Amino acid sequence: MDYIKIRFGNDFETSDSRFDKTIEDMFRSMSPMFSLSERAWKPQMDIYETPQEVIILAEVAGVDKENLEVEISSRAIRIRGNREEIPRVENTTYRLAEIQYGTFERILYLPALIDTDKVSASYLNGFLQIRLARMSQDKTHKITISEE
């Protein structure tokens, strides 16, 4: 069985700001002929909750499982990968070119604290599904009082 790489961390830099738009992104939105072969794109994702877990579903059709990476902390998750471009047919005129290729990265802040020991990921039919167990709310921690 092959596994999707999951790495655990404490913090992610916030690369998801509105200032991250590049000039290439602006031109690419107008016409695909302005695009370069390597560019960033953002796959569509759903996040939903049950009383026991948070589930993330990412549409990443055409991305090899070996090109997916998931990093998790108790508050956020980073999903990144790369979709290789399919070779273009020579001597053709493209009338529509909407499929995006290249690298992608999404940082999602989770709606609840999760237990990083209970994370699973699966990839089927172009969808990456990540299941995150919610942190139990009834956990208590005993605090030792020290003498000064």
Supply the CATH number for residue 66's domain.
2.60.40.790
Confidence of residue 39 (pLDDT cuts 50, 70, 90): low
pTM for this entry: 0.67
24, part of any domain: no
30, part of any domain: no
Q: What is residue 36's predicted lDDT score, i.e. its pLDDT?
A: 47
Domain span including residue 78: 1-10+43-86+101-136
Task: Tell which phi-psi region holds residue 125, choosing left (phi > 0), alpha (psi between -120 and 50) or beta.
Answer: left
3-7, 68-72, 139-143, range with the lowest pLDDT: 3-7
The C-alpha atoms of residue 147 and residue 96 are separated, in whole angstroms, by 72
38, part of any domain: no
Task: Tell which phi-psi region holds residue 117, choosing left (phi > 0), alpha (psi between -120 and 50) or beta.
Answer: alpha
34, part of any domain: no
47, part of any domain: yes
Residues 6+ apart with CB under 8 A from 66: 2
Percent of the chain with pLDDT over 70: 70
* C-alpha pair distances (Å), 99 with each of 15, 43, 84, 131: 23, 11, 11, 27
User: Is pLDDT of 138 > 60?
Assistant: yes
Strand partners, 102: 83
27, part of any domain: no
Q: What is residue 70's predicted lDDT score, i.e. its pLDDT?
A: 95
Q: What is residue 83's predicted lDDT score, i.e. its pLDDT?
A: 95
Of the candidates 82, 72, 60, 146, the residue with the CA atom closest to the CA atom of residue 115: 72
User: Into how many domains does the chain fold?
Assistant: 1
Averaged over 13-36, what is the pLDDT? 49
77, part of any domain: yes
Q: What is residue 88's predicted lDDT score, i.e. its pLDDT?
A: 84
User: Is pLDDT of 113 > 70?
Assistant: yes
112, part of any domain: yes
The C-alpha atoms of residue 92 and residue 145 are separated, in whole angstroms, by 75
